[in-house]
A and B are shown apart, each in its own frame.
Chain A
Amino acid sequence: EVQLVESGGGLVQPGGSLRLSCAASGFTFSSYWMHWVRQAPGKGLVWVSRINSDGSSTSYADSVKGRFTISRDNAKNTLYLQMNSLRAEDTAVYYCARDCTGGVCYDYWGQGTLVTVSS
């Protein structure tokens, strides 16, 4: 059974940092591209970042470029999102999601982890 389990969320002050993790199981993690998607309270889904299967290529939304870094450890079956210089507008539930074969969808999602940026 495919499982994605996020962790690392919490309350952080503006300007602070946080690292999210997404532990994957039930599939060959190293074969799949992965994404982070976030959802502010009561709002819609917003794509944040993606990484290819071996970690050599990444993309970011303009709103987080230069502040967030996506990475992965295929030996540990874990995806990461390092978030620096956090702002109030980064407050959201962060989901990791697996890219479908062929890049036509996200077929599995984690349960999400809440990040709250507030003083």
Chain B
Amino acid sequence: DIQLTQSPSFLSASVGDRVTITCRASQGISSYLAWYQQKPGKAPKLLIYAASTLQSGVPSRFSGSGSGTEFTLTISSLQPEDFATYYCQQLNSYPQTFGQGTKLEIK
């Protein structure tokens, strides 16, 4: 199975900050990586797919990059509604594993 390791697991930041979350895969997955946002009690929401393609309707302050084994999700200027948990997911092979999550909290 392909393991995904996100860093950091917890992140404290302020409104307006630029933040970056990293996702590392245990083996190469080309660009088969997606990012999701999840708020408490809610289903995950797709943000980015194919490593860098922004899902329709997602604000442009979200961006993704990377290929192979290292990927990043960047939020250019944090808004109050962005405080949530973020997950990466590899879709290169089954089982389609998720990272352990990064909880983004208000400083």
Contacts and interface: CB of A to CB of B under 8 A. Distances in A.
Contact of B100 (A44, A50, A110): A44
A45 B91 contact: no
Interface string A62-89: 1000000000000000000000000000
A105 B91 contact: yes
B34 A44 contact: no
Interface string A96-119: 000010011111011110000000
29 contacts: A35-B96, A44-B87, A44-B98, A44-B99, A44-B101, A45-B87, A45-B98, A47-B94, A47-B95, A47-B96, A47-B97, A47-B98, A50-B94, A59-B94, A59-B95, A95-B44, A103-B91, A104-B34, A104-B49, A105-B46, A105-B49, A106-B36, A107-B46, A107-B49, A107-B55, A109-B44, A111-B42, A111-B43, A112-B43
Contacts of B55: 105, 107
Contacts, number: 57
Given A44-B87, A44-B99, A47-B96, A104 B50 contact: yes
B11 to A, nearest CB: 16
Interface of A: 35, 44-47, 50, 59, 61-62, 95, 100, 103-107, 109-112
B101 A100 contact: no
Given A46-B98, A47-B96, A61-B95, A100 B49 contact: yes
Q: Which secondary structure dominates where chain B touches chain A?
A: loop
A98 B11 CA distance: 30
Interface of B: 32, 34, 36, 38, 42-46, 49-50, 55, 87, 89, 91, 94-101
